[in-house]
Amino acid sequence: MADREAFLARVRAAQPAHEPLPEVPLFEAPPGDLRERFCAALKLMGGGEVEVRAADDVRALILRRFGSEARIASATPEVQGTRDFNAATKPASLEDVDVGVVRARFGVAETGSVWLSEREYVVNALGYIVQHLVVLLDPARLVAGLQDAYRREDFRGARYAALVTGPSATADIEGVLIQGAQGVRSLTVVWLPPS
Assigned domain for 77 exists: yes
- Model confidence, pTM: 0.85
d(CA 115, CA 127): 11
Assigned domain for 17 exists: no
Assigned domain for 11 exists: no
Q: Is the pLDDT of residue 1 over 60?
A: no
DSSP string, 64-89: HHH-TT--EEESSTTS--SS--STTS
For residue 3, name the pLDDT band (cuts at 50, 70, 90). confident
Q: What is the mean pLDDT of residues 95-123?
A: 96
Assigned domain for 82 exists: yes
Assigned domain for 1 exists: no
Assigned domain for 18 exists: no
Q: Is the pLDDT of residue 169 over 80?
A: no
Strand order in the sheet with 106-108: 142-143, 106-108, 113-117, 161-164
**34, 142 in Cβ contact below 8 A?**
yes
Query: The CATH number of the domain where 63 resides is what?
Result: 3.40.50.10420
**Strand pairing partners for 102?**
135
For residue 121, name the pLDDT band (cuts at 50, 70, 90). very high
Domain span at residue 113 reads 33-191
Q: Is the pLDDT of residue 181 over 70?
A: no
Domain total for the chain?
Answer: 1
| Predicted pLDDT of residue 150 | 86
Assigned domain for 9 exists: no
| Predicted pLDDT of residue 29 | 82
Residue 103 backbone dihedrals phi, psi, to 5 degrees: -105, 125
The three-state secondary structure class of 161 is strand
52-101 pLDDT per residue, tens = 999 999 999 999 999 999 999 999 999 999 999 999 999 999 999 999 99
Strands (E), 89-131: 99-103, 106-108, 113-117
Q: Is the pLDDT of residue 125 over 60?
A: yes
